[in-house]
A and B are shown apart, each in its own frame.
Chain A
Amino acid sequence: MSNPGTRENHTGESLSWDTLTWQDIQAIGMALAERHPGENVLTLPPNRLERLVEDLPRFAPEGTAPDEFTLSAIVTAWIDAEEGGDDSSPFESQV
């Protein structure tokens, strides 16, 4: 059983809960919102996003580059953190 203060990465290696990996999408989104309030998420190039994540103090790269889906999900989480979460209507398609 794993230590409640730790978790495992994809290779079974023990990581602190404070450590971020590419799968911690919501936590990365919130960390980016806190750390880079001046950044324009509308026009952020993917390579800059990747660099900003890797520069987060708690980030531990796992050796695999993030795919486009992961980067897209991180931006979505970042915007959610800045703008306060889902505000869509389930009826938007009926217009």
Chain B
Amino acid sequence: MSAADRSQAGIYWQSRMGNNADGIGGNCHRYDIVTSDAQGRPARGRLVVDYGIKIHNGGGAYDCSFPSPEDLFARRGQPNPEHAPDALLLTHSHEDHLGALKHAIDMGYRLPPIHCTPFTAELVKKSLAGAGIIEADRRPEIHTVKPGEPVKVGGAEVTFVPVDHLPGASALLIRTPEAAVFHTGDYKFDATMALGERADPELLRRIGKQGVDMVVSDSTSAGEERPKVTEREIGKHLETIIAGQKGRAVVAGVLGTQLDRVVSLGRAAKANGRSLVVSGASLVQNIQAAERAGHSLERAIGAPVLLAKDARDLRADKALVVTTGAFAQPNAGLTRSADHLPGALYIGRDTTVIIPQRAIPPVAEAHRGMVQRLEATGARVITAERAVEMGYGAIHQSGHAIAADTRLLYTLLKPRHVVSPMHGAPGQIEANGEIARSLGLKPLILRENGAVVRVNQTGVETLGRENLPRIGAHETGDLKQLPRARPGEGRRPRPPAIYRYDRLDAAGEVLLSRNVDAYHGPARAPRPSRDAQVR
């Protein structure tokens, strides 16, 4: 279909990917802002919201896919084309919202200035540095924003509105004289989370009173009609579990991004006279990034956070060691212990392992195997599923809005025209739409990505759908030779991977195979196979 007409004043929203008929991931949205100046002449701006990857699982041709940067960003070294956006707004720091930045840069694109909260900014830097993107001329400008304070960008006034998901997570209020759109990003309501700003129902009510035309809304857990479990309740359950492990070593396996869960574990440790010890690169890096962004875990816990190297003299029954591995990923602390790898944390018959995170389907098999290997050491293992069965209560909760949260958001915002559910499988999107209907709101359910929706004073109209290519990325096995790194150095940690990029259509079929604008920088010898690395 040809490009939709975006000439009238209004806000034009298009989900490029992540309005998921084909699974969660690759979130990216384009907002075109068309206003008229005092003389009635049109003024145009463009914003891109999030640029994430979708992880492919199950041995397909690609490791991940993401929206094609080809008609989204400008190429490096070339003048700005008409379609170059004014800014890239990032709602939060998960890879399905920012993981494609490094790929676009490697493909030769220049990212527009990024606007995000300080923790997200730290994670952008970490993501780019981890991909070997360290040269100043390849990096984007990063502007950190203060939650709740409007910034003028691309012809709109944009407010990063705090939500509860992870530190710095924000919804976006995009307001122009013609319209206002509230884009939730990933969100839930949990006033007991410790790090960052909390979602503020009063602020949301005020935003609603000022007028919101359309809510573009996270659907991930919208279909879950169940009582909410708060992070504080999870902390209390963890405290009870740890209280029952007197005289034993306790190791908890989390994901490196679950910093609020680390705070809950730290508080539970403190209540039981144990010191919190953290171990694992991604976990320590995220804690460090949080510190830099002003979200101090030590302050939230009220006790020191020790690195493993500083806790060698600590008695095992006086520590709670938090490490990585809740998803049984290779090289994580729990996985290394289960596999008895050199340098791994000792886990044995006097150890209790707590995994306060449910295993999701793509990792279920690996998770089951890891738990079996941990139990084979004689350790007691309490997973999130078992904690409920054992009567401790929930020690995990989804990071996304359940039905009650979704109702609360719509009740506070009272959108004038529509709610458009996105970020969810079709059933989740339907459930979100049903909640809107139950509140007398009109849902706008888009089955596919690419639809162009205009919002202005006359209402909301779907103008048509544009075919949007995506990129399939596959690790070639070659590794980047980092700029001026000494030969032989950088073997530990592993240098960044080089990817092959194919252009795919919206259904995932290959349109152009092999190295669409691939990285052409210096490379080094292929690394050993993954099996050789892990075992």
Contacts and interface: CB of A to CB of B under 8 A. Distances in A.
A26 B489 CA distance: 8
B482 interface: yes
A91 B487 CA distance: 33
Interface string B266-299: 0000000000000111111101110110000000
B535 interface: no
A23 B484 contact: yes
A9 B478 CA distance: 25
Nearest to B493: A85
A67 interface: yes
Interface in B306-359: 307, 309-310, 324-327, 329-333, 343, 357-358
Interface stretch (B90-98, B200-208, B226-234, B516-524): B90-98
A24 B287 CA distance: 24
A84 interface: yes
B282 A27 contact: no
A72 B492 contact: no
A21 B139 CA distance: 19
Contacts of A25: 129, 134, 482
Contacts of A73: 125-126, 129, 134
B490 interface: yes
A23 to B, nearest CB: 5
Contacts of B4: none
Contacts of B135: 23
Contact of A26 (B258, B287, B333, B482): B482
B24 interface: yes
A87 to B, nearest CB: 4
Contact of A93 (B95, B282, B325, B482): B95
B135 to A, nearest CB: 8
Interface string B216-249: 0000000000000000000000000000000000
A95 interface: yes
B331 A40 contact: no
A57 to B, nearest CB: 14
A25 to B, nearest CB: 6
Contacts of A75: 285, 288
B472 to A, nearest CB: 15
A26 B132 CA distance: 10
B288 A89 contact: no
B284 A88 contact: no
Contacts of B288: 41-42, 75, 79
Interface in A1-60: 7, 17-18, 21, 23-27, 30, 37, 40-43
A24 B285 contact: no
B171 to A, nearest CB: 17
Contacts of A70: 134
B445 interface: no
Contact of A72 (B126, B287, B495): B126
B1 interface: no
Contact of A89 (B332, B484, B494): B332
Given A17-B486, A69-B139, A80 B126 contact: no
Contacts of B97: 93
A82 to B, nearest CB: 7
Contacts of B96: 93-94
A12 to B, nearest CB: 13
Interface string B478-502: 0000111111011011110000000
A63 interface: no
Contact of A88 (B136, B329, B357, B484): B329
B134 A92 contact: no
B357 A95 contact: yes
A40 B255 contact: no
A84 B331 contact: yes
A89 B329 contact: yes
A69 B122 CA distance: 9
B256 interface: yes
B148 interface: no
A69 B362 CA distance: 34
A86 B493 CA distance: 7
B285 A82 contact: no
Given A73-B134, A93-B95, A85 B281 contact: yes
A43 B255 contact: no
Contacts of A27: 485-486, 489-490
B462 interface: no
A94 B95 CA distance: 10
B318 to A, nearest CB: 20
Interface string B118-139: 0000100110111000111001
Nearest to B360: A94
B411 interface: no
B257 interface: yes
6 contacts: A23-B135, A24-B486, A27-B485, A67-B136, A89-B332, A94-B96
Interface of B: 24-25, 52, 55, 57, 64, 94-97, 122, 125-126, 128-130, 134-136, 139, 255-258, 279-285, 287-289, 291-292, 305, 307, 309-310, 324-327, 329-333, 343, 357-358, 360, 362-363, 398-399, 482-487, 489-490, 492-495
